[in-house]
């Protein structure tokens, strides 16, 4: 019985500590597929598009952590629907790896249509990238 209770408690703690932070609506992640590792220390700029003026405006800038992640874009208290752009500034990342790269930065444009969480990751190599809507 003690083992069962311990197992249930361990599972609850593990699930809680690894669950997604729901305080923020937008997160991102960069995986360097050429090395199979997280892209650490990459600056990422978030901008929002004004459909009336056709102008992009700065919202925030963060840097990927030791896991290649940014989990805290767009606090739910301030969230607005709209068209956004993440600009991944990858030039210095590749320079630090002593790797030539075709892309000095990568821009991903996407639309937030509701109050759900949006995860916009990229897989990256020096001559290519891919993106998708994650969870």
* Mean confidence (pLDDT) of the chain: 86
Q: Is the four-CA dihedral 46, 51, 52, 55 of positive or negative sign?
A: positive
- Is residue 87 a known part of a binding site? no
Residue 116 DSSP one-character state: S
- Is residue 127 a known part of a binding site? no
* Residue 32: Cβ within 10 Å count: 22
Q: Is the four-CA dihedral 44, 49, 53, 54 of positive or negative sign?
A: positive
The pair of structure tokens assigned to 90 is: 């990858």
For 2-44, what is each residue's pLDDT tens digit? Answer: 543 444 344 344 333 344 556 889 999 999 999 999 999 999 9
Q: Residues of the chain with pLDDT > 90: what percent?
A: 73
Q: Are 117 and 135 in contact (CB under 8 A)?
A: yes
Q: How confident is the model at residue 13, as a pLDDT?
A: 40
Pick the CATH number of 25-131 from 2.60.40.180, 2.120.10.30, 1.10.287.1770, 3.30.9.10: 2.60.40.180
- Is residue 24 a known part of a binding site? no
Q: Are 101 and 91 in contact (CB under 8 A)?
A: yes
> Domain-by-domain residue ranges, the chain?
25-131
For 93-111, what is each residue's pLDDT tens digit? Answer: 999 999 999 999 999 999 9
């Amino acid at each position: 019985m003690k083992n069962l209770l311990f197992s249930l408690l361990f599972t609850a703690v593990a699930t809680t500590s690894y669950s997604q932070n729901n305080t923020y609506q937008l997160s991102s992640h960069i995986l360097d597929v050429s090395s199979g590792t997280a892209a650490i220390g990459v600056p990422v700029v978030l901008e929002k598009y004004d459909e009336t003026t056709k102008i992009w405006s700065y919202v925030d800038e963060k840097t990927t952590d030791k896991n290649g992640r940014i989990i805290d874009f767009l606090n739910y208290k301030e969230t607005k629907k709209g068209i956004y752009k993440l600009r991944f500034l990858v030039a210095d990342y590749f320079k630090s790896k002593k790797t030539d790269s075709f892309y000095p930065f990568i821009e991903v444009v996407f639309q937030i249509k509701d109050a759900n969480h949006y995860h916009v990751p990229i897989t990256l190599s020096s001559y290519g990238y891919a993106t998708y809507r994650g969870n």
